[in-house]
Amino acid sequence: MKILVINGPNINMLGIREPELYGKQTYKNLIEQISNHAEELGVDVDFFQSNTEGEIITAIQRAYFSNFDGIIINPAAYTHTSVAILDALKAVQIPTVEVHLTDVDAREDFRKISYVKLIAKKTITGKGFNGYLEALDYLCRDK
């Protein structure tokens, strides 16, 4: 089983960006924790992070042609704006879990809208790094 973990803009800035919201751990720490959990579960994980909408869409399309079984995506700010990312996920029909580090529903009103939620099998918010681990568990259970 192969899972692609996609992170959107500014997730590479974890540890630096708003630590009171996103914590002090880095993107590298995030990758380490997901990789360790994937090893425990016996699944392959690949990682992709981009600050650019089009690159995220291309990564989703590549997941189709490379036969990935699941996608875990934190589209970050694009969650609230990107119909194009929603359409890419609709096109590939790969089981997808949406993850947010923070509880987006408890923040500004504009963060309450998620386009990706319309295609995601599950949305996990406000659990920090554990949300990604839970998403992996969910996709493995679903298989």
Residues at the interface with ligand DQA (CB under 6 A): 10, 74, 76-77, 79, 100-102, 104, 111
Q: Which is nearer to ligand DQA, 69 or 122 (CB)?
A: 122
Instruction: Provide, rounded to whole angstroms, the least separation between the CB of residue 120 and ligand DQA.
Output: 13
Of 123, 47, 113, which is closest to residue 83 (Cα–Cα)? 113
Task: Provide the residue count of the chain.
Answer: 143
In the residue annotation, 22 being an active-site residue is answered as yes
Determine the Cα–Cα distance for residues 3 and 24; give it in Å rounded to an integer: 26
Which is nearer to ligand DQA, 37 or 100 (by Cβ)? Answer: 100
Do the beta carbons of residue 53 and residue 83 sit within 8 Å?
no
100 given a catalytic annotation: yes
Active site residues: 22, 100
